[in-house]
Amino acid sequence: MKTSLTLFWFRRDLRLHDNRGLFEALKSGNPVLPLFIFDTDILGKLPDKSDKRVGFIHHSILQLHGELVKAGSSLLVLHGKPLDVFQQLNRQYNITAVYANHDYEPEAINRDAALTDFLYHQHIPFKTFKDQVIFEKSEVVKPDGNPYTVFTPYSKAWKHKITEADVQPFQSEDLLKHLYKTSPFNIPSLSAIGFQDSGASFPPPFIDQNIIRQYHETRDFPSLKGTSGLSVHLRFGTVSIRTLVQIALRWNESWLNELIWREFFMMILYHFPQVVSRSFKGQYDQLKWRNNEEEFRRWCSGTTGYPIVDAGMRELNATGYMHNRVRMIVASFLTKHLLIDWRWGESYFAVKLLDYELSSNNGNWQWSAGCGCDAAPYFRIFNPAEQTRKFDPEGLYINQWVGNLHKKDYPQPIVEHQWARERCLQVFKEALKKE
């Protein structure tokens, strides 16, 4: 006789508290076994075997497991292709239902569609819920029903729609008694899934109220601790969006807008999945990118000779993080000064960023290149010196990552600013000449 149980599948919602899908699974009353799958389709694409994001997930999995063991249950952690894993689980257990939270990326949608199909034929319900955003898919659309493609009216409609009910947490503490009771399972080590420890540490999310309250004043200065540092937690769901929006509504409109940008780009990716490989504004794909590989290598390694650009890239390479203001500067530099395809920069960020999120990364790169929806116009070219003067006037950030600029091995600028600016304007103008 096979054991009957309901599965809750953790994906990018690695927490017990305020987790909608988990809440719904526990509320169903059937014994719930939580599951995590190290997806070989995803892991196989990661070139760096000490990828910090895998380390972050593994660390979070161990935390979750610890909490579940305390509640008398465990976390089942498997390694493979999700569909294969579910086929195997279906042989092993009598699965009454599978619960999970919505995932909106094109590949996740395909993965879930294939699983829906398999489970349907086994007569197993697959129930999924909105959890990672306040408003998803077509919940915030124009009066004519079409999706917004401009941020400001989207954000207005978003703010108009939200109520207290949308940020109420899904409290599952009292429901944990419905977890499937078992002695702890073994959790595979990093090396068992083909990875190794990067040495990075992963502090739990900490919501610093002072930082959030002053966000609009300090956010642009990379040498300050002026940003929340919560992006990676939001990425993997170790913090709940409802908690953050509740705080943002109360304390800081600018920070709220950042959370709305996140949902805006998720909504755009959902409705326009072609942006993964193409410019939102099609005529920008006419553009004659120079794509000089040696210059790209210098951008990647932080040796362009522009201190603010190099500091940003060195911070990224060393930590897997870059301050948002500096992300805009390096993106503008790559696409406009060097005329390198935004997709090259996007791919590099995708490999390096601990908080990498397809929708935001793609949306913001297209924004920088000028080819995205509601993007910066092409002639908005950041002057690295001017940006430094405004946002790192004492060179504290530069000094932290590039050190002494007078060292004889610090490179000469890869291109002269004024000349590169003129070249950029010409190339873009040429590509955008009417049809």
Partner DNA sequence: TGAAATGTTGGGGCG
Partner DNA sequence: ACGCCCCAACATTTC
| Binding region for DNA (CB under 7 A) | 151, 220, 258, 261, 324-325, 328, 367, 376-377, 379-383, 386-387, 390, 417-418, 421, 425, 429
Query: Minimum Å distance from CB 154 to DNA?
Result: 12
Compute φ and ψ for 185, nearest 5 degrees: -80, 165
Pick 5 or 241: Cβ nearer DNA: 241
Q: Going by C-beta distance under 8 Å and a sequence separation of 6 or more, which residues neighbour residue 236?
A: 12, 14, 53, 56, 57, 60
Query: Minimum Å distance from CB 337 to DNA?
Result: 12
Q: Is 294 annotated in the active site?
A: no
- The Cα–Cα gap between 357 and 344 comes to 16
- The Cα–Cα gap between 267 and 104 comes to 8
Q: Is 9 annotated in the active site?
A: no
Identify which of 350, 336, 328, 334 has the alpha carbon closest to the alpha carbon of residue 302: 334
Query: Minimum Å distance from CB 363 to DNA?
Result: 9
Q: Is 258 annotated in the active site?
A: yes
CB < 8 Å & 24+ apart, contacts of 174-177 = 175/23, 175/26, 175/27, 176/16, 176/26, 176/71, 176/73
Contact 399, 363 (CB under 8 A): no
Pick 23 or 148: Cβ nearer DNA: 148
- Bridge partners (DSSP) of residue 95 are 5
Q: Is 289 annotated in the active site?
A: yes
Pick 13 or 392: Cβ nearer DNA: 392
Check 105, 139, 289, 383 and give the catalytic one: 289
Cβ burial 144-175 (10 Å sphere, 16+ → b, else e): eeebbbebeebbebbeeebeeeebeebebeeb
- The Cα–Cα gap between 132 and 51 comes to 23
Pick 119 or 287: Cβ nearer DNA: 287
Residue with the two structure tokens 């170790």: 238
Pick 137 or 421: Cβ nearer DNA: 421
Contact 221, 388 (CB under 8 A): no
Alpha helices, H only, 162-252: 209-213, 215-218, 231-236, 241-251
Check 158, 255, 261, 367 and give the catalytic one: 261
Query: Minimum Å distance from CB 386 to DNA?
Result: 3
Q: Is 158 annotated in the active site?
A: no
- Bridge partners (DSSP) of residue 127 are 99
Query: Minimum Å distance from CB 196 to DNA?
Result: 35
Q: Is 251 annotated in the active site?
A: no
Check 9, 158, 255, 342 and give the catalytic one: 342
Pick 97 or 329: Cβ nearer DNA: 329
Query: Minimum Å distance from CB 288 to DNA?
Result: 16
Residues tagged active-site: 258, 261, 289, 324, 342, 365
